[in-house]
A and B are shown apart, each in its own frame.
Chain A
Amino acid sequence: MNGQHQSDNPVTTRSGDPAASPLVRFDAVSKRFAGVTAVDGVSLDIYPGEFFALLGPSGCGKTTLLRTLAGFETPDSGRVLLNGEDLTRVPPHRRPVNMMFQSYALFPHLTVAGNVAFGLKQDGLPQEEIAARIAEMLALLRLEGLEARKPHQLSGGQRQRVALARALVKHPRVLLLDEPLAALDKKLRGETQFELMRLKERLGLTFVIVTHDQEEAMTVASRIGVMNHGRLVQVATPSEIYEQPNSRWVADFIGDVNLIDGRVAEKTTVVTTVATTPAGTIRAAASDAKPGDSVAVALRPEKIRIGREVPPASLNAVEGEVAAIGYLGDFSIYKVRLADGFVMEAAAANVARVIERPVSIGDRVWLSWATDAGVVLTQ
Chain B
Amino acid sequence: MRRGLSFVNVTALALGLAFLYLPILILVIYSFNASRLVTIWGGWSTRWYVSLLGNQAILDAAWISLRIAFLAACVATVLGTLAALALVRAGRFRGRLLFSGLVYAPLVMPEVITGLALLLLFVAVDIERGFWTVTIAHTTLTMGFVTVIVQARLLGFDRSLEEAAMDLGAPPLRTFMTVTLPLIAPAIAAGWVLAFMLSLDDFVIANFTTGPGARTLPIHIYSEVRLGVKPEINAICTIIVAVVALGIVAASLLTKLSGAKPESSGAPL
Residues of A within 8 A of B (CB): 70-72, 91-94, 97-99, 101-109, 118-119, 122-123, 150-154, 159, 163, 166-167, 170
Residues in B with CB closer than 8 Å to A105 are 158, 160-161, 163-164, 264
Kindly state whether residue B95 has any CB partner on chain A within 8 Å: no
Q: CB-CB contacts of B244-269 with A at 8 A, as 1s and 0s?
A: 00000000000000000011111111
CA distance A154 to B268 in the complex (A): 11
Kindly state whether residue B23 has any CB partner on chain A within 8 Å: no
B182, A109: Cβ atoms closer than 8 Å? yes
A92, B268: Cβ atoms closer than 8 Å? no
CA distance A150 to B267 in the complex (A): 11
CA distance A231 to B188 in the complex (A): 44
Smallest beta-carbon distance A375→chain B, Å: 40
- 7 shortest A-B CB distances, which residue pairs? A119-B168, A122-B169, A108-B262, A152-B266, A105-B164, A105-B160, A104-B264
* A93/B264 contact (C-beta < 8 A), A109-B182, A150-B269, A152-B269 known: no
A119, B169: Cβ atoms closer than 8 Å? yes
CA distance A91 to B165 in the complex (A): 12
Q: CB-CB contacts of B104-146 with A at 8 A, as 1s and 0s?
A: 0000000000000000000000000000000000000000000
Smallest beta-carbon distance B154→chain A, Å: 15
Kindly state whether residue B179 has any CB partner on chain A within 8 Å: yes
With both beta carbons as reference points, the residue of chain A lying nearest to B185 in the complex is identified as A109
CA distance A107 to B163 in the complex (A): 11
A109, B183: Cβ atoms closer than 8 Å? yes
* A151/B264 contact (C-beta < 8 A), A101-B163, A105-B158, A108-B183 known: yes
CA distance A252 to B172 in the complex (A): 44
CA distance A123 to B170 in the complex (A): 9
With both beta carbons as reference points, the residue of chain B lying nearest to A176 in the complex is identified as B167
* A93/B170 contact (C-beta < 8 A), A103-B158, A105-B164 known: yes
Question: Other than the known A92-B167, A122-B168, A151-B266, what 14 A-B pairs have Cβ atoms closer than 8 Å?
Answer: A92-B166, A99-B164, A103-B263, A105-B264, A106-B264, A108-B264, A109-B183, A118-B168, A118-B178, A122-B169, A150-B269, A152-B262, A166-B168, A170-B169
A101, B266: Cβ atoms closer than 8 Å? no
Residue of B158, B174, B264 with most chain A CB atoms under a 10 A cut-off? B264
* A101/B160 contact (C-beta < 8 A), A108-B262, A118-B165 known: yes
* A103/B262 contact (C-beta < 8 A), A93-B166, A122-B169, A170-B168 known: no
Q: Assign chain B's interface to a size class.
A: 20 to 34
Kindly state whether residue B171 has any CB partner on chain A within 8 Å: yes
Residue of A91, A93, A94 with most chain B CB atoms under a 10 A cut-off? A93
Residues in B with CB closer than 8 Å to A150 are 269
Residues in B with CB closer than 8 Å to A71 are 166-167
Residues in B with CB closer than 8 Å to A103 are 158, 160, 263-265
With both beta carbons as reference points, the residue of chain A lying nearest to B164 in the complex is identified as A105
Residues in A with CB closer than 8 Å to B164 are 99, 101, 105-107, 166
CA distance A263 to B160 in the complex (A): 51
CA distance A86 to B165 in the complex (A): 22
Residues in A with CB closer than 8 Å to B160 are 101-103, 105
6 A-B pairs whose Cβ atoms sit less than 8 Å apart in the complex: A71-B167, A106-B164, A107-B179, A108-B263, A122-B170, A166-B168
Residues in A with CB closer than 8 Å to B264 are 103-106, 108, 151, 159, 163
CA distance A118 to B163 in the complex (A): 13
CA distance A98 to B161 in the complex (A): 13
Smallest beta-carbon distance B186→chain A, Å: 10
Smallest beta-carbon distance A80→chain B, Å: 15
Smallest beta-carbon distance B187→chain A, Å: 14
Smallest beta-carbon distance A160→chain B, Å: 9
A152, B268: Cβ atoms closer than 8 Å? yes
With both beta carbons as reference points, the residue of chain A lying nearest to B179 in the complex is identified as A107
Residues in A with CB closer than 8 Å to B170 are 93, 118, 122
With both beta carbons as reference points, the residue of chain B lying nearest to A116 in the complex is identified as B168
With both beta carbons as reference points, the residue of chain B lying nearest to A169 in the complex is identified as B168
B263, A91: Cβ atoms closer than 8 Å? no
* A93/B169 contact (C-beta < 8 A), A103-B160, A108-B264 known: yes
Residues in A with CB closer than 8 Å to B266 are 151-154, 159
CA distance A122 to B165 in the complex (A): 9
Smallest beta-carbon distance A154→chain B, Å: 7
Residues in A with CB closer than 8 Å to B268 are 152
Residues in B with CB closer than 8 Å to A122 are 168-170, 174
CA distance A106 to B167 in the complex (A): 12
Residues in B with CB closer than 8 Å to A72 are 163, 166-167
Q: CB-CB contacts of B12-28 with A at 8 A, as 1s and 0s?
A: 00000000000000000
With both beta carbons as reference points, the residue of chain B lying nearest to A159 in the complex is identified as B264
Contacting residues of chain B (216-269) with chain A, CB-CB under 8 angstroms: 262-269
CA distance A98 to B164 in the complex (A): 9
CA distance A133 to B168 in the complex (A): 15
Pick the contact of B161: A94, A102, A107, A154 (CB < 8 A).
A107
Smallest beta-carbon distance A2→chain B, Å: 34
B183, A92: Cβ atoms closer than 8 Å? no
* A93/B171 contact (C-beta < 8 A), A108-B263, A152-B269 known: yes
CA distance A368 to B97 in the complex (A): 68
Smallest beta-carbon distance B199→chain A, Å: 30
Pick the contact of B167: A99, A107, A151, A153 (CB < 8 A).
A99
